[in-house]
Amino acid sequence: MPFITVKDGAEIFYKDWGNPEGPVVFFSHGWPLSSDNFEAQMFFMANQGCRVVAHDRRGHGRSSQVWEGNNIDQWADDLAELFEKLDVKEMMMVGHSTGGGEIVRYCARHGTSRVSKLVLIDSTPPFMLKSETNTAGVPIEVFDGFRAAMEKDRSQFFFDVASGPFYGFNREGAKKSDGIIYSWWQQGMISGFKATYDCISFWHTVDQTEEMKKIDVPTLIIHGDDDQIVPIDCSARLGIKLLPKGKLIEFPGGPHGLPNIEPVWVNERLLEWLKS
């Protein structure tokens, strides 16, 4: 399996599929998942003649379960080393949830010389924490509850998230997919406890408002308006006001896990944005 070893010794797993001469599309997964969660999009875009690249964030999936470095700056630096090794240029970067925050930080920290466009799907920026100035945000008690639930029984907690709010399966009339639930749970359980635990603090400590204002490439925001994990009012609807070159597409009734629940629709939007 392909890995790169980054400067601090961590091994980062990556996938590199499709046409090596085609337009590059990079995918950054959400918490607590891996590159596997974007397989429907990667398969589709590769079949459109693209070169598709995705990684398992450090501590996630098949990458090293390091104790240190589970923070957004290090995630961005890992990407910079991966892109240098693969010599990717003019890529469209796609991030889901936490992965959206990761690619925004990459652009802020390393620039956009390798980037042509961004896509943020149900993503965390600009800032999730509820405050007097961000009343639509998520209360700190929710994040504290996540940590407590992981410490008590991570396996059950991950199952509850996947079978409930992540995909909107807790909504009346929702049709559950056992396959999607178990895939999410399996990806989460393969990822390291420390990395997935540390990631929770990113959601309530990192404000990416100023970073969003400085993104100098066209950026598409896709967000479900019934997202129970990253509420649309503290993310997409604020983020679009910050972006110099932004476009927002809302999916009515859409949950947080749009790439898995609505893969055909998401794939069509990605291809349209790539060709625009």
Q: Kindly name the residue from 56, 163, 227, 235 that is annotated as catalytic.
A: 227
CA distance 249 to 272: 12
DSSP-H helix ranges across the chain = 39-47, 72-86, 98-110, 140-163, 178-190, 193-205, 209-213, 236-242, 258-261, 263-275
pLDDT at 31 over 80: yes
Quote the pLDDT of residue 147: 98
* pLDDT band, very low/low/confident/very high, at 66 (cuts 50, 70, 90): very high
* pLDDT band, very low/low/confident/very high, at 172 (cuts 50, 70, 90): very high
* pLDDT band, very low/low/confident/very high, at 1 (cuts 50, 70, 90): low
Bridge-based pairing state of the strands 3-5 and 246-251? unpaired
Q: Kindly name the residue from 97, 163, 191, 235 that is annotated as catalytic.
A: 97
Q: What percent of the chain has pLDDT over 90?
A: 98
Mean pLDDT computed over 242-271:
98
Q: Kindly name the residue from 29, 55, 223, 256 that is annotated as catalytic.
A: 256
Q: Is 227 annotated in the active site?
A: yes
From 3.30.429.10, 3.40.120.10, 3.40.50.1820, 1.20.120.1200, which CATH number describes the 3-275 domain?
Answer: 3.40.50.1820
Mean pLDDT computed over 197-221:
97
138 DSSP assignment = B
* pLDDT band, very low/low/confident/very high, at 232 (cuts 50, 70, 90): very high
Q: Is 63 annotated in the active site?
A: no
Mean pLDDT computed over 126-141:
93
The 10s digit of each residue's pLDDT in 77-91 is: 999 999 999 999 999
pTM: 0.97
Judge contact between 104 and 210, C-beta under 8 A: no
pLDDT at 252 over 70: yes
Q: Is 55 annotated in the active site?
A: no
pLDDT at 69 over 80: yes
CA distance 236 to 229: 13
CA distance 231 to 32: 18
Q: What residues does each domain of the chain span?
A: 3-275
Quote the pLDDT of residue 106: 98
Mean pLDDT of the chain: 97
Mean pLDDT computed over 169-182:
96
